[in-house]
Amino acid sequence: MATGKLEYVRELERGNRLPNFNWIVVRIDGWHFHRFSEVHQFDKPNDARALNLMNSCAVSMLEKFPDIIFAYGDSDEYSFIWSEKTNFCERQESQILSQSVSFFTSVYVMKWGEFFPTQELTYPPAFDGRVICYPRVKLVRDYLKWRQADCHVNNQFNTCFWTLVKSGKKKSEAQKYLAGTQTAEKNQLLREFGIDYGALPAMFRKGSCVFRDKVEEGVKLDGGRKPGEETCRRVRVDYCDIIGKEFWDQHSEILVED
Amino acid sequence: MATGKLEYVRELERGNRLPNFNWIVVRIDGWHFHRFSEVHQFDKPNDARALNLMNSCAVSMLEKFPDIIFAYGDSDEYSFIWSEKTNFCERQESQILSQSVSFFTSVYVMKWGEFFPTQELTYPPAFDGRVICYPRVKLVRDYLKWRQADCHVNNQFNTCFWTLVKSGKKKSEAQKYLAGTQTAEKNQLLREFGIDYGALPAMFRKGSCVFRDKVEEGVKLDGGRKPGEETCRRVRVDYCDIIGKEFWDQHSEILVED
Amino acid sequence: MATGKLEYVRELERGNRLPNFNWIVVRIDGWHFHRFSEVHQFDKPNDARALNLMNSCAVSMLEKFPDIIFAYGDSDEYSFIWSEKTNFCERQESQILSQSVSFFTSVYVMKWGEFFPTQELTYPPAFDGRVICYPRVKLVRDYLKWRQADCHVNNQFNTCFWTLVKSGKKKSEAQKYLAGTQTAEKNQLLREFGIDYGALPAMFRKGSCVFRDKVEEGVKLDGGRKPGEETCRRVRVDYCDIIGKEFWDQHSEILVED
Amino acid sequence: MATGKLEYVRELERGNRLPNFNWIVVRIDGWHFHRFSEVHQFDKPNDARALNLMNSCAVSMLEKFPDIIFAYGDSDEYSFIWSEKTNFCERQESQILSQSVSFFTSVYVMKWGEFFPTQELTYPPAFDGRVICYPRVKLVRDYLKWRQADCHVNNQFNTCFWTLVKSGKKKSEAQKYLAGTQTAEKNQLLREFGIDYGALPAMFRKGSCVFRDKVEEGVKLDGGRKPGEETCRRVRVDYCDIIGKEFWDQHSEILVED
Burial class of residue B90 in the structure, from the number of CB atoms within 10 Å of its CB (0-12 exposed, 13-18 middle, 19+ buried)? exposed
Longest Cα–Cα distance of chain C, Å, equals 76
Pairing of strands D23-30, C127-134: unpaired
Contacts of C93 in chain A (CB under 8 A): none
Measured between CA atoms, how close is B83 to chain A, in angstroms? 17
Instruction: Answer yes or no: is pLDDT of B230 > 80.
Output: no
Nearest to A139 among D21, D133, D138 (CB): D21
Q: Which of A5-19, A31-45, B213-227, D169-183 has the lowest mean pLDDT?
A: B213-227
Task: Specify whether the CB–CB gap between B116 and B36 falls below 8 A.
Answer: no
Q: Which pLDDT score is estimated for A232?
A: 62
Pairwise CA distance, residues A71 & A147, whole Å: 11
ipTM of the complex: 0.91
**Closest by CA position to B112, among listed B122, B99, B103, B100:** B122
Instruction: Tell me which DSSP letter residue C7 carries.
Output: G
Interface test with B, best of D11, D16, D85 (most B CBs within 10 A): D11
Determine if residue A76 is labeled as part of a ligand binding site.
yes
Measured between CA atoms, how close is D43 to chain A, in angstroms? 41
Instruction: Answer yes or no: is pLDDT of B125 > 80.
Output: yes
Q: For residue D170, what are the CA distances in angstroms to A201, D162, D258?
A: 83, 10, 54
Instruction: Answer yes or no: is pLDDT of B235 > 70.
Output: yes
Interface test with B, best of A101, A131, A157, A205 (most B CBs within 10 A): A101
Phi, psi angles (nearest 5°) of residue B141: -65, -40
Q: Which pLDDT score is estimated for B223?
A: 47
Instruction: Tell me which DSSP letter residue C63 carries.
Output: H
Cα angle D251, D253, D257 (rounded to 5 degrees) comes to 125
Q: For residue A218, what are the CA distances in angstroms to A233, A250, A253?
A: 13, 22, 20
Provide the CATH number for the domain around residue A205. Answer: 3.30.70.3000
Q: Which pLDDT score is estimated for D225?
A: 47
Contacts of B103 in chain A (CB under 8 A): 31, 124, 126
pLDDT average, residue stretch D128-147:
97
Establish if C8 belongs to a structural domain. Answer: no
The amino acid at C29: D
Three-state secondary structure string covering A20-75: CCCEEEEEEEECCHHHHHHHCCCCCCCCHHHHHHHHHHHHHHHHHCCCEEEEEEEC
Measured between CA atoms, how close is B212 to chain C, in angstroms? 27
Q: For residue A22, what are the CA distances in angstroms to A69, A254, C164?
A: 13, 14, 59
Pairwise CA distance, residues D226 & A243, whole Å: 47
Contacts of C133 in chain D (CB under 8 A): 12
Task: Specify whether the CB–CB gap between B82 and B218 falls below 8 A.
Answer: no
> Scanning every residue of chain D, which has its alpha carbon at the shortest distance from the alpha carbon of C11?
D132
Contact D102 C101 (CB under 8 A): yes
Total of domains in chain C: 1
Establish if C9 belongs to a structural domain. Answer: no
How many CA atoms lie less than 13 Å away from D209 in the CB half-sphere? Answer: 22
Mean pLDDT of the residues in chain C: 92
Contact B124 A143 (CB under 8 A): no
D207 contact C CB<8A: no
Cα angle C139, C141, C147 (rounded to 5 degrees) comes to 105
Establish if A222 belongs to a structural domain. Answer: yes
Pairwise CA distance, residues D45 & A119, whole Å: 80
Q: Which pLDDT score is estimated for A219?
A: 46
Contacts of C19 in chain A (CB under 8 A): 12, 14
Q: Which residues pair with D209 in a beta bridge?
A: D72, D238
Measured between CA atoms, how close is A101 to chain C, in angstroms? 26
Contact D20 B11 (CB under 8 A): yes
Phi, psi angles (nearest 5°) of residue A9: -65, -20
Contacts of C110 in chain D (CB under 8 A): 109, 121, 124
Instruction: Tell me which DSSP letter residue B81 carries.
Output: E
Measured between CA atoms, how close is D21 to chain A, in angstroms? 8
Determine if residue D43 is labeled as part of a ligand binding site.
no
Structural domain including C41 reads 15-250
Q: What's the CA dihedral at A62, A65, A69, A74 to 10 degrees?
A: -50
Q: Which residues pair with A27 in a beta bridge?
A: A79, A130
Pairwise CA distance, residues C213 & C224, whole Å: 24
> Scanning every residue of chain B, which has its alpha carbon at the shortest distance from the alpha carbon of A133?
B12
Contacts of A238 (CB under 8 A, 6+ apart): A208, A209, A211
Contacts of C14 in chain A (CB under 8 A): 17, 19
Chain C segment 2-31 residues within 8 A of A by beta carbon are: 11-12, 14, 17, 19-21
Pairwise CA distance, residues B161 & D115, whole Å: 74
- Residue A73: pLDDT band with limits 50, 70, 90: very high
Contact C136 B135 (CB under 8 A): yes
Nearest to A21 among D135, D257, D258 (CB): D135
Question: What is the tens place of the pLDDT at every residue in B25-76?
Answer: 999 999 999 999 999 999 999 999 999 999 999 999 999 999 999 999 999 9
Contacts of D16 in chain A (CB under 8 A): none
- Residue B133: pLDDT band with limits 50, 70, 90: very high
Q: Which helix (H) or strand (E) holds A96?
A: helix A93-115
Contact B135 C21 (CB under 8 A): yes
Contacts of A17 in chain C (CB under 8 A): 14
H-helix segments, C85-182:
93-115, 137-166, 171-178
Contacts of C92 (CB under 8 A, 6+ apart): C15, C16, C17, C18
Q: Which helix (H) or strand (E) holds A188?
A: helix A183-192
Task: Specify whether the CB–CB gap between A62 and A211 falls below 8 A.
Answer: yes
Residue scoring higher pLDDT (A194 or D232): A194
Phi/psi-derived region of residue D120, left when phi > 0, alpha when psi is between -120 and 50, beta in every other case: beta
pLDDT average, residue stretch D56-83:
98
Instruction: Answer yes or no: is pLDDT of A80 > 60.
Output: yes
Establish if A257 belongs to a structural domain. Answer: no
Contact A133 D19 (CB under 8 A): yes
Establish if A91 belongs to a structural domain. Answer: yes
Task: Specify whether the CB–CB gap between D102 and C102 falls below 8 A.
Answer: yes
Question: How many residues make up chain B in this entry?
Answer: 258
Rounded to 10°, the helix D183-192/D137-166 angle is 40
Burial class of residue C256 in the structure, from the number of CB atoms within 10 Å of its CB (0-12 exposed, 13-18 middle, 19+ buried)? exposed
Question: What is the tens place of the pLDDT at every residue in A13-34?
Answer: 988 999 999 999 999 999 999 9
- Residue D213: pLDDT band with limits 50, 70, 90: confident
Interface test with A, best of C9, C12, C90, C93 (most A CBs within 10 A): C12
Pairwise CA distance, residues A77 & A59, whole Å: 14
Question: How many residues make up chain D in this entry?
Answer: 258
Contact A14 C19 (CB under 8 A): yes
Measured between CA atoms, how close is A18 to chain C, in angstroms? 10
Q: For residue D182, what are the CA distances in angstroms to C169, D175, D178, D196, D244?
A: 76, 14, 9, 16, 22
Instruction: Output Rg (C-alpha) for chain C, integer angstroms.
Output: 22
C132 contact D CB<8A: yes
SS3 D28: strand
Contacts of A21 in chain D (CB under 8 A): 135-136, 139
Pairwise CA distance, residues A257 & B6, whole Å: 20
Contacts of A19 in chain C (CB under 8 A): 12, 14
Instruction: Please report, rounded to a whole number, the percentage of residues in chain B having pLDDT higher than 90.
Output: 85
**Closest by CA position to A212, among listed A62, A73, A74:** A62
Q: Which of A60-64, A94-98, B125-129, B221-225 has the lowest mean pLDDT?
A: B221-225
Phi, psi angles (nearest 5°) of residue A14: -125, 130
Pairwise CA distance, residues B150 & A6, whole Å: 10
Question: What is the tens place of the pLDDT at every residue in A187-204?
Answer: 999 999 999 999 999 999
Task: Specify whether the CB–CB gap between C173 and D51 falls below 8 A.
Answer: no
Mean pLDDT of the residues in chain D: 92
Measured between CA atoms, how close is D126 to chain C, in angstroms? 5
Subunits with 3+ C-beta pairs closer than 8 A to B: A, C, D
Kindly report the number of other CB atoms within 10 A of residue D136's CB atom.
Answer: 19
Instruction: Output Rg (C-alpha) for chain D, integer angstroms.
Output: 22
Pairwise CA distance, residues D240 & D148, whole Å: 10
- Residue D258: pLDDT band with limits 50, 70, 90: confident
Nearest to A12 among C12, C14, C20 (CB): C20
Pairwise CA distance, residues C208 & C83, whole Å: 19
Q: Which residues pair with D92 in a beta bridge?
A: D17
Q: Which helix (H) or strand (E) holds C248?
A: helix C246-250
Query: What is the residue-level pLDDT of chain C in tens, covering all 258 positions?
Result: 578 899 999 989 988 999 999 999 999 999 999 999 999 999 999 999 999 999 999 999 999 999 999 999 999 999 999 999 999 999 999 999 999 999 999 999 999 999 999 999 999 999 999 999 999 999 999 999 999 999 999 999 999 999 999 999 999 999 999 998 988 899 999 999 999 999 999 999 999 999 998 765 544 444 444 544 444 689 999 999 999 999 999 999 999 987
Phi, psi angles (nearest 5°) of residue A114: -70, -35
H-helix segments, chain D:
33-39, 48-64, 93-115, 137-166, 171-178, 183-192, 202-206, 246-250
> Scanning every residue of chain D, which has its alpha carbon at the shortest distance from the alpha carbon of B21?
D12
Q: What's the CA dihedral at D82, D86, D90, D93 to 10 degrees?
A: 20
Kindly report the number of other CB atoms within 10 A of residue D166's CB atom.
Answer: 12
Three-state secondary structure string covering C20-32: CCCEEEEEEEECC
Determine if residue B67 is labeled as part of a ligand binding site.
no
Measured between CA atoms, how close is C194 to chain B, in angstroms? 46
Kindly report the number of other CB atoms within 10 A of residue D90's CB atom.
Answer: 11
Establish if B49 belongs to a structural domain. Answer: yes
Contacts of B94 in chain A (CB under 8 A): 93, 97, 128-131
Establish if B8 belongs to a structural domain. Answer: no
B146 contact C CB<8A: no
Determine if residue B32 is labeled as part of a ligand binding site.
yes
Establish if A163 belongs to a structural domain. Answer: yes
Nearest to B21 among C139, C257, C258 (CB): C139
Buried b vs exposed e over D236-256: b needs ≥16 C-beta within 10 Å? ebebbebbeeebeeebeebbe
Task: Specify whether the CB–CB gap between A63 and A55 falls below 8 A.
Answer: no
Burial class of residue A10 in the structure, from the number of CB atoms within 10 Å of its CB (0-12 exposed, 13-18 middle, 19+ buried)? exposed
